[in-house]
């Protein structure tokens, strides 16, 4: 493929995934959609670690870091969704603009 490695193509694709997640974090106002965008962003960064490890010939290091991040990311997601449920019960909405008007 004219000097372009599979790892380089993977890195570009993963970078695009990270950018999609970041775009979602910046644009979305619904709390559930924000959590989903955070998940897309986190999965992209996990794949960056795996691809970077593979590019350096140390795929095991990248994979072990990815597993650690997946565990921490799962805990953060569960807590974020639980908080979103409580916000919906208390405020009646999941819109972050409406919730930010409740500051005291």
Confidence (pLDDT) at 1:
54
Confidence (pLDDT) at 16:
96
- Options 1.10.760.10, 1.10.10.10, 3.40.50.300, 1.10.287.3510; CATH for 6-100 is 1.10.287.3510
pLDDT by 10s per residue, the chain, length 104: 577 889 889 999 999 999 999 999 999 999 999 999 999 999 999 999 999 998 899 999 999 999 999 999 999 999 999 999 999 999 899 999 888 776 65
Confidence (pLDDT) at 99:
86
- 45: phi then psi, degrees, rounded to nearest 5: -70, -35
**Buried b / exposed e along 3-31 (16+ C-beta atoms within 10 A):** eeeeeeebbeebeebbeebeebbeebeeb
């Amino acid at each position: 493929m004219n000097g372009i490695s599979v790892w380089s193509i993977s890195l570009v694709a993963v970078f695009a995934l990270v950018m999609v997640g970041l775009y979602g974090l910046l644009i979305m106002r619904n709390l559930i959609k924000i959590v989903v965008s955070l998940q897309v962003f986190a999965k992209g960064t996990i794949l960056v670690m795996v691809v970077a490890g593979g590019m350096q010939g140390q795929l095991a290091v990248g994979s072990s870091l990815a597993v650690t991040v997946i565990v921490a990311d799962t805990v953060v997601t569960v807590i974020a969704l639980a908080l979103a449920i409580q916000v919906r019960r208390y405020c009646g909405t999941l819109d972050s603009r409406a919730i930010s008007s409740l500051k005291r």
